[in-house]
Structure 1
Amino acid sequence: MHETESFRSKFLSFSPGDMADVRQFFAPGRVNLIGEHIDYNGGHVFPAALTRGVSLWVRPRADGVVRFYSVDFPETIEARVDALEFREADGYANYTKGVIKVVQEEAPAPFCGGDFFYLSNLANGAGLSSSAAVEVVTAAAVRDLMAYPLDNAQLAVLSQRAENEFVGVNCGIMDQFAVAMGKADHAIFLDCQTLDYEWVPVTLGDYALVITNTNERRGLAESKYNERRSECEAALSLIQEILPGIQNLTQISIDQWNDVEAHLSSQPILLRRARHVVFEEHRTKEAVRVLKALRLDAFGQLMNASHASLRDDYEVTGRALDALAEAAWSFAGCLGSRMTGAGFGGCTVSLVERASIPAFEEHVRVAYADKTGLEPSFYVSEIGDGVHERQQEGLEV
């Protein structure tokens, strides 16, 4: 049986009825090209939407009931729209319930309900924002089914709110914004404090982005993420003693760094965390400049410096990500490579000569396996559009 027909059969088992009533939405995963762990520090990030992501087939209901089914987690979860609560056992469906709850809080009338069927070609736990894609695709579907006038940037903000308040993960805005606002062949230069943004053309010519999955689950990511946020807040509080006008670490200029470094000398951990944030903000702005000038070699060097900072100063890489980056750095056709996402597993993103991609994959596979005993996975993805509704015909995967 063709894969799409198999999914259609599963959908109809979950939600029997006329397929003409079903609507399909798609939200991409994202890769952050540079600017890691900057969003919650009020700085600039530089993510791009992928052509891989999460598809949602949804059949409207009129009884105030929502039902969720994921091909990756095949268990039907049901709730009433007027009684949406977090339940640990519901797993991914807490993200979807949270989104429906916060969209309803903004809307003039309650959501009437629906059957939500999710399919993904993003690896779970890979750091490509599958959870943000699930949130944003759900928000877009609820918005359109309710005919409620929210733009995609508002969907991103509401999705972040759902994750913060309903799920309890204190994430920044980057992932949801990239998923909602992506544009094909462009990355988003986003000010996470103001949400001002610029779509920057990504012209790679003879090069391509290769995403490599460590296939190591990111077991420490959430706890370390919250720990790093707390450390940054502590560093900011100390720095405000000498720079009282500073509201975020990313406002500290390179020229001010020597004074900051001296002030934090008795707090070496906080010093390293602040140093990463200050210089990563600088690297992100520089990356936009060199990409606009089509200087891919300079962009690659910034990627490498970013990974080294995340390894040494922010300490969020770990042996698997470091092994992948080091293997990529040793390949002649790779201009740069760095971890992307929260860290402690997940993926790297590398800028690789297109003609050399098969050789790159083999080189990295061997070197990585020698160091870790793990087998990596590779994805060559173009930069795609943000969340959107797809035509019903065929109901694509």
Structure 2
Amino acid sequence: MQLVDQIKSDFQELFGNQPELIVKSPGRINIIGEHTDYNNGFVLPAAIDKGVYIGVSRRDDNHIELFSVDYKERYHTDIDSLTFGPELWTNYILGATRILRKTHSNIDGFNLIVAGDVPLGAGLSSSAALTCATSFALDKLFQLQLSRLDIAKTGQQTEHEAVGLRCGIMDQFASVFGKENNLLKLDCRSLEYEYIPIVLENYEILLLNTNVKHSLASSAYNQRREACEAAVALVQQKYPSVSSLRDISIAKLEEMVQPISAEYFQKSKFVVEENQRLLNATDALKSNDISKLGKLLYDAHWALSKEYEVSCPELDFLVSTASTLPEVAGARMMGGGFGGCTINMVEKGKSKTVIEKISSLYFDRFQLNLTPIQVSISDGTQVIL
């Protein structure tokens, strides 16, 4: 509970009292199902044991005082203006606050300290954890009576409005609804979900952080979404009942999209096939067929790389190298792309061997250090204190 103690200590030093409550919202991994959430498809994420912690207390005025333990930065504004700061972390907090205050005028001034142990830029959704932790903390502090779905949707809306990233709801949903030792099979159209116990037995999950984040990530993410929406619009010209790629077969894409745009066809075809890979992966998990799951992970990675074009040389190198190691059943890039982590299914007890084999090769190729991250699957957003 080192971060909790740090928040309590900083709170006392900065504000002269203790926080009224401390909450945690976790980061997430995603086993398979990438770029499907904003296309009303399926995803298979899980909350992890690393997250964002927020300590908060009410003030007797309309001021908002923010402090980041990680950045050692402080920011001040007030509840009536909610002026965004120069740093992104402040905008996630204030963006969520602004959205909630539209419907909950009883939100007044507050002091807030944030700390986290989710590696930044690793594709583990630290931003979703921050927005969901903020909404959850304000819900408890001001008794807003929000549902968990309200909190997840507020987090997604914050990304759209405060940051300009048109993300789906997977990251926020996983952070809020996570359950220890369970994956979430989420239908992003209906928001129906199923907990799937993950029993890896002879395997463990190893994340390998490339320690790169290429600058085109956000703009390219929005471009991919626009390509998928354009493909749907083309299909709707003849099949008006379809509303998303979820409703469209490869045959319809070949008929209506491929003759018009090879780019739209390639991107939308990936999404349709990725949804099917996820359903197959769910079957593999339920039957504990790790070999089948591993093959699906490799297939998903190379489709993300070659078809959806959201990988990068560093990610491709890690997956290609992992595929040569008998200790690794499967691997793929994870997250929005252009950097971050690969997720690897490794024989239990062999992660150290895999790390040693890949790290030196990675450094020789890119002159970059590789950061291994081992995670366990945990509960979602919760009150800690």
TM-score above 0.5, yes or no: yes
SS of equivalent to 1:216: strand
Match of 2:74 in 1: 76
Match of 2:140 in 1: 144
Number of aligned residues: 383
Match of 1:193 in 2: 189
Match of 1:29 in 2: 27
1:264-319 deviation per Cα after TM superposition (whole angstroms, max 9, x unaligned): 33422112101110100111111112111111111111111110110011000010
Match of 2:383 in 1: 389
Q: In structure 2, which of residues 345, 354, 364 is the aligned counterpart of residue 351 of structure 1?
A: 345
1:27-66 matches, within 5 Å, as 27-66=25-64
The Cα of 1:105 is off from its aligned counterpart by 1.9
1:38, 1:44 within 8 Å by CA — same for their partners in 2? yes
In the aligned structure 1, how far is the partner of 2:336 from the partner of 2:42?
16
Question: Pairwise CA RMSD of aligned residues?
Answer: 1.7
Match of 1:16 in 2: 16
1:283-298 matches, within 5 Å, as 283-298=277-292
Please say which of residues 229-238 and 240-249 is displaced more in the overlay: 240-249
In the aligned structure 1, how far is the partner of 2:4 from the partner of 2:232?
51
Q: Does 2:93 correspond to 1:96?
A: yes
SS of equivalent to 2:337: coil
2:4, 2:53 within 8 Å by CA — same for their partners in 1? no
Q: In structure 1, which of residues 248, 255, 260 is the aligned counterpart of residue 253 of structure 2?
A: 260
In the aligned structure 2, how far is the partner of 1:3 from the partner of 1:143?
22
1:199-278 matches, within 5 Å, as 199-253=195-249, 257-266=250-259, 267-278=261-272
1:125, 1:218 within 8 Å by CA — same for their partners in 2? no
Change (3 A) 1:46 1:362: same
Unaligned runs of 5+ in 1: 392-397
In the aligned structure 2, how far is the partner of 1:263 from the partner of 1:104?
44
The Cα of 1:5 is off from its aligned counterpart by 5.6
The Cα of 1:199 is off from its aligned counterpart by 1.1
Match of 1:378 in 2: 372
In the aligned structure 1, how far is the partner of 2:84 from the partner of 2:233?
33
Q: Give, as a single letter, the amino acid of the residue that structure 2 aligns with 1:91.
A: L
1:213-265 deviation per Cα after TM superposition (whole angstroms, max 9, x unaligned): 10002422101101111111112222223433221112223xxx234225433
1:327, 1:368 within 8 Å by CA — same for their partners in 2? no
Q: Does 2:98 correspond to 1:105?
A: no
Unaligned runs of 5+ in 2: none
1:15, 1:59 within 8 Å by CA — same for their partners in 2? no
2:7, 2:55 within 8 Å by CA — same for their partners in 1? no
Please say which of residues 161-170 and 64-73 is displaced more in the overlay: 161-170
Q: TM-score, normalised by structure 1?
A: 0.92
Change (3 A) 1:3 1:52: closer
1:181-236 deviation per Cα after TM superposition (whole angstroms, max 9, x unaligned): 11111111111112111111111112111111100024221011011111111122
The Cα of 1:339 is off from its aligned counterpart by 0.8
In the aligned structure 1, how far is the partner of 2:3 from the partner of 2:120?
20
Q: In structure 2, which of residues 53, 65, 68 is the aligned counterpart of residue 67 of structure 1?
A: 65
1:261, 1:271 within 8 Å by CA — same for their partners in 2? yes
